[in-house]
Amino acid sequence: MVIDNCVMPGDGLMHLDGNLTGPASSLSGILIVNSIITEAMKIASKQGIKLPIYQSQNVDGIDNEHLFIRYEKRIKHV
């Protein structure tokens, strides 16, 4: 399967002192990967699968400690 990120040749968004910089593939790649992940999560959820969702720590009242404990043997730096 091929996913075209539709980035223009040169993969840059800005010309600076004769150089092309600001990789558009980074932005489009993040969008594509997160879109695939969230769609897969929606499909799994509709099938009744309970997903271990890590929530942003930038929101007051969010605690992911149960996930750290559950996956500590799989994640080296937890």
Give the closest residue to 52 by CA, choosing from 62, 67, 33: 67
For the stretch 7-33, pLDDT in tens is 988 899 999 999 999 999 999 999 999
Domains of the chain: which residue ranges?
A: 14-71
For the stretch 49-65, pLDDT in tens is 999 999 998 989 999 99
Q: How far is CA 11 from CA 17, 33, 34, 36, in A?
A: 16, 18, 20, 22
